[in-house]
């Protein structure tokens, strides 16, 4: 009798886990599909039903699981930037162990490598940054500003930058690090090779380090 009860409990547990696994898979599929749709089409042009169809889920599932389109968009963005947060913590700890000159170079290379690995993030920011909205405010306040505030003192000291100079330097670095990868198809047709190849990423990284550090580091020394 005890054995039978045990078997029943195991069977019941498996039955419970299966719907949970299907639910998590459906949620994950919707987030994955919407990431590229929001990045490429923007929030307003992305319909809830289109996400559901592409994710292979029934009508109404997105609102059921996430509450509203706005809440869902925030969940997608949170998912994307959780990657940045984990990597940010790692690179801040690495910077503390490096001489300033090496730290600046490492930071530039980090941004190039990251932009090459996750071009969707650049596309998302480009979409939302083109207009003033609650979405770009959310991205900046929740994710971008903490990263910039963490980098600013280190880079300003290492490169002898004023606050205004840092703002220019930051956008030059971010744009130059990411555009080649976010617009990879344009690059391919323009130059005949792929921007996200390892050798291209390294060459781009090395060139950007030279361009962004030479004068500042030489003049400081």
- For 80-125, the pLDDT digits (tens) are 888 877 777 777 778 778 898 999 999 999 999 999 999 999 999 9
Range of the domain at 17: 1-67
* Average pLDDT taken over every residue of the chain: 88
Domain count, the chain: 2
Residues 36 and 103 in one domain: no
CA 13 – CA 175 distance, rounded (Å): 51
Residues 119 and 217 in one domain: yes
Residues 91 and 63 in one domain: no
- Model pTM score: 0.81
């Amino acid at each position: 009798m005890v054995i039978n009860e045990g078997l029943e409990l195991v069977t019941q547990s498996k039955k419970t886990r299966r719907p949970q696994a299907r639910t998590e898979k459906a949620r994950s599929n919707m987030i994955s599909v919407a990431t590229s749709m929001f990045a490429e089409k923007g929030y307003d042009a992305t319909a809830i039903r289109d996400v559901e169809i592409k994710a292979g889920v029934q009508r109404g599932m997105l609102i059921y699981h996430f509450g509203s389109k706005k809440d869902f968009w925030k969940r997608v963005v949170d998912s994307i930037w959780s990657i940045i947060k984990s990597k940010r913590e790692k690179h801040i700890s690495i910077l503390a162990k490096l001489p300033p000159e090496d730290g600046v170079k490492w930071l530039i290379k980090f941004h190039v490598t990251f932009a090459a690995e996750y071009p969707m993030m650049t596309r998302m920011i480009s979409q939302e940054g083109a207009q003033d909205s609650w979405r770009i405010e959310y991205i900046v306040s929740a994710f971008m500003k903490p990263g910039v505030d963490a980098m600013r003192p280190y880079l300003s000291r290492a490169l002898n930058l004023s606050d205004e100079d840092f703002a220019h330097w930051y956008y030059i670095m971010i744009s130059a690090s990411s555009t080649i990868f976010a617009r990879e198809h344009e690059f391919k047709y323009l130059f005949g090779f792929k921007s996200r190849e390892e050798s291209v990423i390294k060459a781009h990284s090395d060139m950007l380090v030279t361009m962004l550090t030479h004068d500042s580091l030489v003049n400081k020394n």
